[in-house]
Structure 1
Amino acid sequence: MENRRIIISDDGMVIVSDEVKMNIGEIADLFGIYYRTAKQHIRSIEKAGITTGDNTMGGSVERMKVYPDYYGLEMIIAIAFRVQSPKAVVFRKWIQEKIVSRIGRKSIRLIEDWRDQNFSLN
């Protein structure tokens, strides 16, 4: 799956394929963190209902629950904002640059359905 990965070079260049699919080990390598740390963040993100993985490419069973083997860009972005590593910082800056450049060109339509998510405004 080499062509479906995100690459962060030592000089800070970020390369993202059109359709990202990475397993936990690849995500851990991407951010320079331990496998166990990446897995804990993924499980926490899934439990919070932020995003999930790709169940179409198989999965594994842990404690009576099936977890996907591969995760897409949404999960990797969520992990990037939880992890404190040099490569996570580079990736966060890349994400911010992409968002700012898009906002500068056109408006982004946001769908607000926070009421359905049981969120409250404090």
Structure 2
Amino acid sequence: MDSGKLSIIDGSVKITPVNGTVWLTKHEIADLFGCFVSKVGSNISVILKAGLLDESEVCRRKYYENGSFIEFYNLGMITAVAFRIRSHNADLFRRWLMKQAVQKQSDKWVSVFVPWSDKIFLN
């Protein structure tokens, strides 16, 4: 699975999407935001249980020959998780998202949809 790249280096967000998105595992999201994998996993569970995002749209599984699999989450889920986690890198990512939402590129405005609900709280 070609998943694209998303990193935060020296306070700068670098994104290389593939087919318009990026797919990361829970471990990669935890590394990106500088938090524990369990925090990412619990926030993903809350987001899905609340019906804020559709699992069939934001989650993909890669199956191995032995029957095990690994789950990947797209930019929509990564964004939702970023708004639930308190960390320096999550804050940098949120600021980058907001900057992208209002940034004017040449004569076109860039639209960025950030899924949000009153059910989402930082933890």
Q: TM-score, normalised by structure 2?
A: 0.70
Letter in 2 for 1:55: R
Q: Structure 2: how far apart are the matches of 1:107 and 1:30? A: 24
Q: How many residues align?
A: 101
Q: Please, what is the CA RMSD of the aligned residues?
A: 2.9
> Is it true that 1:72 corresponds to 2:83 in the alignment?
no
Displacement after TM superposition at 1:57 (Å): 3.4
Q: Structure 2: how far apart are the matches of 1:93 and 1:28? A: 18
Report which of the two structures shows the higher radius of gyration computed on alpha carbons: 1
Q: Structure 1: how far apart are the matches of 2:110 and 2:71? A: 35
Q: Structure 1: how far apart are the matches of 2:81 and 2:74? A: 11
> Is it true that 1:8 corresponds to 2:8 in the alignment?
yes
Q: Structure 2: how far apart are the matches of 1:2 and 1:13? A: 23
Q: Structure 2: how far apart are the matches of 1:79 and 1:36? A: 12
> Match for residue 31 of structure 2?
29
Q: Structure 2: how far apart are the matches of 1:31 and 1:89? A: 9
Gaps of 5+ in 1: 59-66, 111-122
Letter in 2 for 1:39: G
Displacement after TM superposition at 1:48 (Å): 1.3
CA contact (8 A) 1:54 1:68 kept: no
CA contact (8 A) 2:4 2:17 kept: yes
| Match of residue 60, structure 2, among 55, 58, 61 | 55
SS at 2:103 equivalent: helix
Gaps of 5+ in 2: 64-68, 114-123
Q: What are the within-5 Å matches in structure 2 for residues 104-115 of structure 1?
A: 105-106=108-109
Q: Structure 1: how far apart are the matches of 2:110 and 2:31? A: 35
> Match for residue 115 of structure 1?
none
> Match for residue 92 of structure 1?
94
Q: TM-score, normalised by structure 1?
A: 0.70
Percentage of pairs with the same residue: 32
CA contact (8 A) 1:55 1:70 kept: yes
Q: Structure 2: how far apart are the matches of 1:4 and 1:90? A: 19
Displacement after TM superposition at 1:68 (Å): 6.8
